[in-house]
């Protein structure tokens, strides 16, 4: 199946620019281009998993890695509290079908 790459895959592959604030072997973190809070980051796995419904047991390390990264990112941004959001599926508000975690803080 030949699917078109998501905008996040294009960012990971450096095909389009983004404000990258963190990158490691498992994920990339960018500033959201349409922020809903003073700090609005997107934590994106490098593996293109469309939705939470598509997660498999082999993805637990990626998801755990991203969850453990969230407090480090918040602290680096000067936040002492934050909220997270993962939209899943079209009816769940997901616009880009490549799992990502929103980190929001004021």
Residues catalogued as catalytic: 100
Both tokens of residue 36?
């809903």
H-only helix segments in 1-106: 7-12, 60-76
What letter does residue 54 receive in the DSSP assignment? G
**Residue 56 CA: distances (Å) to CA of 42, 44, 51:** 21, 16, 11
Give the full edge-to-edge strand order of the sheet including 39-45: 20-23, 27-31, 39-45, 101-105, 83-85
DSSP-assigned beta bridge partners for residue 27: 45
């Amino acid at each position: 199946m030949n699917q078109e790459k998501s905008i996040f895959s294009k960012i990971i592959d450096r095909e389009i620019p983004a404000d990258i604030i963190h990158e490691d072997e498992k994920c990339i973190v960018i500033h959201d281009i349409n922020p809903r809070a003073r700090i609005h980051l997107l934590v994106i796995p490098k593996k293109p998993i469309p939705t939470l419904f598509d997660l498999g047991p082999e993805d637990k390390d990626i998801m755990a890695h991203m969850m453990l990264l969230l407090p480090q990112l918040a602290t680096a941004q000067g936040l002492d509290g934050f909220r997270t959001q993962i939209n899943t599926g079209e009816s769940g508000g997901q616009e880009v079908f490549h799992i990502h975690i929103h980190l929001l803080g004021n």
